[in-house]
Structure 1
């Protein structure tokens, strides 16, 4: 447990150092596939060829890095470490895989090695436009309207403080129901 915490602390500190030295490029950290426990041995065994945008995660603390992580050139998973406010719409697009299945996810929370949620965060934007299939909005709160333009939308342990619109009945019918997801506004085809 201490090794994992220490590793995460080193990653965050490294990101902070790079953020201070970077010109205007957003800092995006790559981590091993999140389906495995991250240990010192895991990071030492990884080669550059094993890390790719299809199966790696992006841990972000700034809006620009989040936008980049969820773009078509981003990562299958974006995880935040704090609240983030965006002035423009957030567009989630591109096809990514996790465990050889099409998947995309944003995690607005942190967790321990046993996957217990430690902190939840709020992401605020005028709207989120989802164009990635099997997108999972998990943990925390999204403040704004969500427009779904893809199959398999999944709301897990998250509150949308706004409306949830689907571009077609097909997209709405393909959503994965989860009783832990809450929408304060309307849920409809628009």
Structure 2
């Protein structure tokens, strides 16, 4: 039985490697958070490689949100992190904006989804503080427990909840903040320089 498992694993790995090596680069980037059943392969464009970091532990999450991380960070379960977190760096998502420039975006996806993009599970991220330094960032479809400090423009909550306070460190961060009607903040939303 063990031998069959090993042979199956090696065969599957060889098939995946052969398939990945012979596939031409795709021109359409990933637009949503991958489901756990979807591969976390980079989606390629002519000059940009975008990837999703699918994480299930604190160390991987902290690395993924760093300036050396990825533009999208998708969790697979609830995470409790006992340190202050910083979403840092400017990332391109592989798309073009209305002017034909590379689109900047950063997303913390606290959910999984099926192949039809329906949310199948929502997760909670708990930390004492989360600082948003990445422009065009969002928290989507889950809950952050702790205080959020926004220093970058165009931060969004999309189908997400903050159980804590939402502080803006600049007037621009405050004036460009958006949240949809499915989102909420249980604490204050205020400018705190």
The root-mean-square deviation of aligned C-alpha atoms, in Å, is 2.9
Count of residues paired in the alignment: 156
What are structure 2's unaligned runs of at least 5 residues? 1-8, 14-27, 96-101
What is the alpha-carbon distance in structure 2 between the residues aligned to residue 74 and residue 124 of structure 1?
Answer: 20
SS at match of 2:147: strand
CA shift for structure 1 position 47: 8.4
Q: Paired residue for 1:178?
A: 180
Residues 146-185 of structure 1 aligned to structure 2 (within 5 Å): 146-185=148-187
TM-score (norm 2): 0.73
Residues 112-153 of structure 1, C-alpha deviations (whole Å, 9 max, x = no match): 011100000000000100000010100111000000000000
Contact 1:53 1:74 in 2 (8 A): no
What is the alpha-carbon distance in structure 2 between the residues aligned to residue 47 and residue 74 of structure 1?
Answer: 13
Q: Which has the higher helix share?
A: 1
CA shift for structure 1 position 37: 9.9
Moved >6 Å (runs of 4+):
46-50
What are structure 1's unaligned runs of at least 5 residues? 1-9, 15-31
What is the alpha-carbon distance in structure 2 between the residues aligned to residue 48 and residue 109 of structure 1?
Answer: 20
Q: Give 1 or 2 for the bigger CA radius of gyration.
A: 2
Tell me which of 83, 98, 111 is aligned to 1:88.
83
